[in-house]
Amino acid sequence: MKGRKKTYLAATLLCSLTILSFILISGVFCKDKNPFGSSGQSPLRKGDLVADATKIQEAFKKIYEINKDSVVFISTEQTMKMPQHPFFNDPFFRDFFGPSDRQPKTQKRTGLGTGFIVSEDGYICTNYHVVAGVDKIKIKVNKDSYDAKLIGLDEKTDLALLKIDSNNKLTPVYFGDSDTVNVGDWSIAIGNPFGLDKTFTVGVISSAARRDLDLMGDSQTHIQTDASINPGNSGGPLLNIYGEVIGVNRMIYSQTGGNIGIGFAIPINTVKNVLEQLKLHKKIKRGFIGVQIVPLTEEYASELGLKDNSGALVGQITEDSPAAKSGILTGDVIISINSKEIKNFSDLINEVENTPIGKTLKVEVWRNKSKIALFITVVERP
């Protein structure tokens, strides 16, 4: 009887251990099961419904990888003189607050911006307004920090060229062609908005050549994009879907200081010409032919025999200028330069100012209801 009890107890114990083992093993195999969310993967992972979208996603990742080591963080420092409060000229307030020499006479102001590497030996492009008037410029390339040297500035185009010395070869960006940019193209901005390093935003080109920007104060064209650009993005690259730089992010249009989907970039074809001149001359030598342009109305264009008011109407010619020597007359309408159509004053300015000094241009003018070809040698603007 005792033997049966022992056998029964042993069997019971063995059964309990078996059940316990099953529970423990089941727990091991089921420990990854989450009580929340649907089981398995999203049905969108199967089939071709989002296949094209994932290809674009992979392209964005590749664009970031190509450019992440080329976009740099810029910090600046400027010592500002503090004006003395007029109260300190009054003996009563001077006795109350203490001597004026106890008041701080200077204050350090810091700034942030973005730039990008344009050569292996350390040349960097950014905006004029990021570094103009500052005392110190620090460049952070990934984890490495450098003191930057200011090579040249151009306030008109809002561009600056910097240089850092590194023991290693740096990674320059790829340049695109801003003349091929079209509305609807992808646009990607990489920068440091609000000090957030290497922020990546995506949008489209809203306008390929925006000129009617009174707030800019000049005639140069800009690429407009809805990719998010905010304070700190200034000087950073605007890229196309191939990861090539098509512009330098310059500013946003905003009534609040934050992005509302309207940003502007300087076309890279303009930038390349400016950077080359800044490297050679430390400044921009702009072309000059010596004509003053006046508005060409549709009514007057019709009187001249033109089909529309495209062109630049010459209102005055500077004495002894290249235009005067070439035979251009007051009342001529400049309609093309080197076979490139001139639609307005801005086109003329851009073509002349971007032409190397000493180069001869073929200028086509409309005079007496016919086309005349003249040749003008560009000189440096006085």
User: Residue 61 is encoded by which pair of tokens?
Assistant: 């990742």
Task: Report H helices in 120-167.
Answer: 128-131
Q: Is 207 a catalytic residue?
A: no
Q: Find the catalytic residue in 75, 129, 336, 347.
A: 129
User: Residue 178 is encoded by which pair of tokens?
Assistant: 């801003």
Per-residue model confidence (pLDDT) at position 19: 57
**How many Cα neighbours within 13 Å face the side chain of 61?**
6
Per-residue model confidence (pLDDT) at position 89: 62
CB 372 within 8 A of CB 334: no
Q: Is 158 a catalytic residue?
A: yes
Structural domains of the chain sorted by starting position, each given as residue range(s) with its CATH number in brackets: 178-281 (2.40.10.10), 287-380 (2.30.42.10)
* Per-residue tens of pLDDT for the chain, all 382 residues: 555 555 555 555 555 555 555 555 555 555 556 678 888 888 888 888 899 999 999 999 999 999 999 999 999 999 877 666 565 566 655 555 556 555 567 788 899 999 999 999 999 999 999 999 999 999 999 999 999 999 999 998 999 999 999 999 999 999 999 999 999 999 999 999 999 999 999 999 999 988 766 544 456 789 999 999 999 999 999 999 999 999 999 988 777 777 788 999 999 999 998 999 999 999 888 899 999 999 999 999 999 999 999 999 999 999 999 999 999 999 999 999 999 999 988 889 888 988 889 999 999 999 999 999 999 999 998 8
Which residue's entry shows tokens 């664009």?
Answer: 63
Of 142, 138, 130, nearest to 170 by C-alpha is 142
Per-residue model confidence (pLDDT) at position 185: 97
User: Residue 284 is encoded by which pair of tokens?
Assistant: 């921009």
Q: Find the catalytic residue in 228, 234, 326, 346.
A: 234
Task: Report DSSP letters for 330-347, one per residue.
Answer: TT-EEEEETTEE--SHHH
Residue type, 253: Y
Per-residue model confidence (pLDDT) at position 215: 47
Per-residue model confidence (pLDDT) at position 96: 56
Q: Is 222 a catalytic residue?
A: no
Per-residue model confidence (pLDDT) at position 366: 96
User: Residue 379 is encoded by which pair of tokens?
Assistant: 């000189």
Q: Find the catalytic residue in 75, 158, 206, 326.
A: 158
Per-residue model confidence (pLDDT) at position 347: 86
Query: Rounded distance, CA 199 to CA 191, Å?
Result: 5
